[in-house]
Amino acid sequence: MKHEEPSIKAHVAPYFKVELVDPRLPSRRVVNLLRSLVGLKPTSVVTTWKLCYDYNAIARIEELTGLDLLNIESWKEVGSKHFPVIVHCGLARYQPKITLPEVISKLDPVVQTPIQNTIIYMLFPGFREWVEKQAKEKDQGGPNRPNGRMETLQSLLKSLQKAGKNTMPSPATT
C-alpha cells in the first residue's frame, strides 16, 4: 500500500478591483445607477486598481505604519494617515509603478470604509459570515447586535470589547 504524503492546498492571494472615476467624463450605467441611489452625480471610470494583500503587502504595511493587519486589534488604529499607505501597498503585486503620491491625490476619502471592510473580509474570511449571522439573529428578535450594514470595523470591535472578547469570534462559536 502506497503511503500518501500530507499536503495542504492553498489559494493564490485574492485581489479586488477599485474603479477610480472622473465626473467630467461620459457616464457609465452601473456606476451611475449606484451613485444615483445615494443621490450623487453621474461619473465615469478613469482607471481600475487591483489591490492584493499577500504577505509582501502585509509586511510592507507593517514596516511603514507599524500595524500588523493580520491582528484584528490593529484595525482599531487604522486612520486616514495609514489608509493611503495600505492601499498603495496593496497595489504592489499588480501595479507596482503607481506611487504613494498618486494614491493620495486620486483616492477619495469617502471610499475608505468600503475598501477597508473589503480588506478585512479578505483577511478574516469568517468575519462577513459572523456579521451576517448576527444581523439575521437580530432580525429574528435576537439580542441587539450589528445590523448587517457595512459598518466600520471600529464599531464592531467596540461591540466585541464590550462583550469581553479580544479576538474575532468564529461563526461556529457565536
Q: Are 103 and 148 found together in one domain?
A: no
pLDDT at 170: 39
In a domain, 101, yes or no: yes
Q: Are 48 and 93 found together in one domain?
A: yes
Amino acid at 89: C
pLDDT at 141: 67
Q: Are 119 and 142 found together in one domain?
A: no
Alpha carbon 151 to chain centroid, angstroms: 11
Q: Are 107 and 140 found together in one domain?
A: no
Q: Are 56 and 73 found together in one domain?
A: yes
Q: Are 141 and 110 found together in one domain?
A: no
pLDDT at 83: 95
Q: Are 49 and 71 found together in one domain?
A: yes
In a domain, 105, yes or no: yes
With b meaning 16 or more CB within 10 Å and e meaning fewer, what string describes 93-108? bebeebeeeebeebbe
pLDDT at 1: 62
Domain count, the chain: 2
Domain that holds residue 142: 126-173
Q: Are 21 and 107 found together in one domain?
A: yes
pLDDT at 92: 96
Axis crossing angle, helix 112-123 with helix 83-90, rounded to the nearest 10: 60
Q: pLDDT by residue for the chain (174 residues), tens digit each?
A: 677 777 777 677 888 888 886 655 555 666 667 777 888 776 666 788 999 999 999 999 999 999 999 998 898 899 999 999 999 999 999 999 999 999 998 888 888 988 998 999 888 877 778 877 877 877 776 555 444 333 555 566 555 555 444 444 433 333
